[in-house]
Amino acid sequence: MARPARTDDDSSVAGDIFGVVTDRQSYKNLCYLVLAAPLGMAYYTFVTMGLVLGALLSPIGIGLVVLFVTLLTVRLFAGFERRLANALLGLELQAENGPEVASARGVRARITSYLEAPSTWRGLGFLMVKFPLGVVAVVLLIPLFTALSLVTAPLRYPYAPELVTVNDEPITWSIETLPEAVLAVMVAAVIGVLVLHLSNGFAYVARQMATALLDEGVSEPRGGDGKPAASRSTP
């Protein structure tokens, strides 16, 4: 009588482990992290140069213009990141439409409203933390590329893919027979599942950061049908 329950438990565990392979959101999360690498580097470089250059030139007045242009561009970048998170992380982040910014008239008033808007500084904070997230993405790409090189082993053997590099010395795996090629595919599958689980975990962290720093309203993650989870009826 206990055997069916064990079977259900086994299938549930298998679904938790291998379900990421068929879950479309897993690949969206991975895509978001892959994009985080170049975007994080670009944001960090631009913001750092803009703030440093603006601070150095502020005594002659030009620096203030540079600082304002930098912060204005930060708001544009934050808007792009909001749309990117909505598309790839399954969020529904709302754009800022604050009355202070919208009702400001005149150049000076609008500049002041941008500087006083909390969304400006939250967006700046998000762009800065995007850089370490991009570093994590680069680390995830290394085993992913290794898995991709191994999965094609049955079509390419004999060959010796490079697995890792230790002390500038590449460590390779010499695949010379069909059984070794099949084993390489199995190893690639395990690595791929692990990478998807790790990317989902880091995407969860990115989702929380985006909700805290980019959302100007109440955001809810979407389910597989694209609708907010709270809007779906529960049995």
Alpha carbon distance, N-terminus to C-terminus of the chain: 27
> pLDDT of 36-68, one tens digit each?
999 999 999 999 999 999 999 988 889 888 988
Instruction: Return mean pLDDT, the chain.
Output: 81
Give the tokens for residue 79.
């808007």
Share of the chain above pLDDT 90, in %: 39
pLDDT of residue 108: 73
The tens digit of pLDDT for each residue in 214-229 reads 987 644 445 544 445 5
pLDDT for 29 beyond 80? yes
Q: Mean pLDDT over residues 12-17, rounded?
A: 70
The pLDDT score that the predictor gives to residue 9 is 57
Q: Quick one: pLDDT at residue 7?
A: 55
pLDDT band at 6 (very low <50, low <70, confident <90, very high): low
Q: Is pLDDT larger for residue 29 or for residue 177?
A: 29
**Residue 153's pLDDT band (cuts 50, 70, 90):** confident
- Between CA 199 and CA 187 the distance in angstroms is 18
Supply the pLDDT for residue 225.
46
Q: Determine the average pLDDT of the residues in 176-181.
A: 87
- What does the DSSP 8-state code read for residue 223? -
- Provide the pLDDT confidence category of residue 14 given band limits of 50, 70 and 90: low
Q: Which two tokens stand for residue 77?
A: 């970048």
Position 2 scores a pLDDT of: 47
pLDDT of residue 235: 39
Task: Report d(CA 126, CA 48) in Å as an integer.
Answer: 14
Q: How far apart are CA 136 and CA 27, in angstroms?
A: 16
Residue-by-residue DSSP string for 172-201: E--B-SHHHHHHHHHHHHHHHHHHHHHHHH
Choose between 86 and 111: higher pLDDT.
86
Kindly report the three-state secondary structure assignment for every residue of 88-130: HCCCCCCCCCCHHHHCCCCHHHHHHHHHHCHHHHHHHHHHHHH
What's the CA dihedral at 146, 147, 148, 151 to 10 degrees? 130
Is the pLDDT at 88 greater than 70? The verdict is: yes
